[in-house]
Each structure stands twice: as structure tokens, then as C-alpha cells.
């Protein structure tokens, strides 16, 4: 029997090979750890220096001056902003005050406008009433003037001129405007021959100038002469 007969030996050839592999792995791990420890020990001074707290920096006087100047510049800039904000706030308050004042002015103007309209209505009413009263007065005056004109027409021209000479030219013109043309001609003719009573003593100035002025005013009057009797 030449065939190989299996045995029951626990330390066979395969188990021996696996044991040698584990040994090599353990040796490799030990060698790596030792190498890392050696490198760490070799680099430790540099690592300690890098992780150590840095010493305080000594600032030179020039650097301190520059930092102080920059701080002042920033403070000045902040003050400018505060000033600008204060001015804007003041302008806003002033604008709001002007708006309120303008609203008050508009309200006052509206009130005054209403008051003016009311006064205008009252004045218009008074004007109409005054016009009515003036018309009535003119009618009454016209009646009186016509009555006086009839009285002076019945006088002699010399007597009438003596009285008319004391009146104003306007009143004389009103009276003559209601008289007949032949009576007016006699009175004006008598005035041209009568000495002006207002002239200086001894003067021969007549009422001719006044008669001419009165004749000129008669052109402005409407025909107030009564209609001729048939």
C-alpha cells in the first residue's frame, strides 16, 4: 500500500505555514510603531514650538501713532454721521411744522374767502337798496327842480339872475334844463349883461363866462323840458 495515509497530527504542514505568516505581520507592526515613535521624537521640538503660546508683540511708537490716528478718524466719521442724522431730523421736524402751518394758512384763507363772499353778498344787497333809494331821491329831486324852474320862469330875468348868481353852475344848469328854451335864452342873456357880484368893487366883469359854462353843461342833460301845450 503506497497511497498516502492521512494522519491526525494537529501540527500539520498547513498550520505551520499559517503560523509563520502571523509572525511576519506582528514584526511589521512593531517595526512601523517604532519608526513612527522615532519620527515623533525627532520632530518634537518643532511641534512644541508651533503649539506654544506666542509671546506678546511689541508695538513700536510709530505703529501706536498710526493706530491712534485711525481711531480718531473713525470717531470723526461717526460724529459726522451723527451730525448728519441730527440735521436730517431737524429738517424733518421743520418740514412737518411747515406742512402744519400751510394747512392752517389754507384753512384761514378758506374761512376768509367765505367771509368775503358773505360781505360781498351784503354789499350787493346794500348797493341794490341804495340804487333804489337813489332812484327815489332823484325822482323827488326832479320834482323839486321842476317846481323851482316854474317859479324862476315866472320871474323877470333880472330877478331870476340875481338869485341864480348865488347858486353853483351845476344847480343852475339843472334848473335851466327843465325850463323852456325861450326862458333860458332870456336868463342867459341877462347873465351876460349882469356884473358878477363876486368881482372886486368897481369891476365891470359880467357873468358871461359863467353863462357860457352853464350853456356847456346843458348839453349833458337829457331833455327835461315839459312837452309844449297844444
Give the best-scoring range by mean pLDDT among 59-63, 82-86, 98-102. 98-102
What are the φ and ψ backbone dihedral angles of 195, each rounded to 5 degrees? Answer: -70, 140
pLDDT tier, 228 (very low <50, low <70, confident <90, very high otherwise): very low
Span 103-127, pLDDT tens digits? 888 888 988 888 888 888 888 888 7
Span 169-183, pLDDT tens digits? 888 888 898 899 999
Is the pLDDT reported for residue 5 higher than 50?
no
Q: Mean pLDDT, to the nearest integer, of 95-106? A: 87
Helical packing angle, 61-153 and 157-164, nearest 10°: 160
Of the candidates 142, 162, 143, which has an alpha carbon nearest to the alpha carbon of residue 152? 162
Domain spans in the chain, listed from the N-terminal domain onward: 67-154, 155-230
> Could you give the percent of the chain with pLDDT greater than 90?
13
Is the pLDDT reported for residue 143 higher than 80?
yes
Pick left, alpha or beta for residue 12 (phi over 0 → left; psi -120 to 50 → alpha; otherwise beta).
Answer: beta
Span 148-166, pLDDT tens digits? 889 999 999 999 999 998 9
Interatomic CA distance for residues 197 and 115, integer angstroms: 56
* Summary mean pLDDT of the chain: 75
Amino acid at each position: 500500500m503506497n497511497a498516502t495515509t492521512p494522519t491526525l497530527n494537529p501540527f500539520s504542514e498547513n498550520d505551520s505555514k499559517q503560523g509563520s505568516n502571523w509572525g511576519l505581520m506582528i514584526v511589521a507592526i512593531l517595526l512601523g510603531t517604532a519608526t513612527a515613535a522615532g519620527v515623533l521624537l525627532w520632530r518634537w521640538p518643532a511641534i512644541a514650538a508651533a503649539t506654544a503660546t506666542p509671546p506678546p508683540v511689541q508695538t513700536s511708537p510709530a505703529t501706536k501713532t498710526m493706530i491712534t490716528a485711525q481711531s480718531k478718524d473713525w470717531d470723526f466719521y461717526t460724529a459726522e454721521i451723527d451730525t448728519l442724522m441730527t440735521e436730517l431730523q431737524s429738517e424733518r421736524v421743520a418740514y412737518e411744522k411747515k406742512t402744519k402751518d400751510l394747512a392752517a394758512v389754507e384753512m384761514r384763507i378758506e374761512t376768509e374767502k367765505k367771509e368775503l363772499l358773505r360781505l360781498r353778498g351784503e354789499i350787493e344787497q346794500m348797493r341794490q337798496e341804495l340804487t333804489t333809494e337813489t332812484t327815489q331821491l332823484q325822482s323827488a329831486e326832479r320834482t323839486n327842480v321842476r317846481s323851482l324852474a316854474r317859479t324862476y320862469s315866472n320871474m323877470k330875468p333880472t330877478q331870476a339872475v340875481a338869485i341864480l348868481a348865488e347858486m353853483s353852475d351845476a344847480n343852475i344848469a339843472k334848473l335851466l334844463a327843465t325850463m323852456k328854451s325861450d326862458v333860458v335864452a332870456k336868463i342867459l342873456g341877462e347873465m351876460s349883461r349882469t356884473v358878477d357880484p363876486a368881482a372886486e368893487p368897481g369891476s365891470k366883469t359880467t357873468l358871461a363866462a359863467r353863462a357860457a359854462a352853464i350853456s356847456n353843461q346843458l348839453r349833458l342833460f337829457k331833455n327835461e323840458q315839459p312837452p309844449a301845450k297844444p
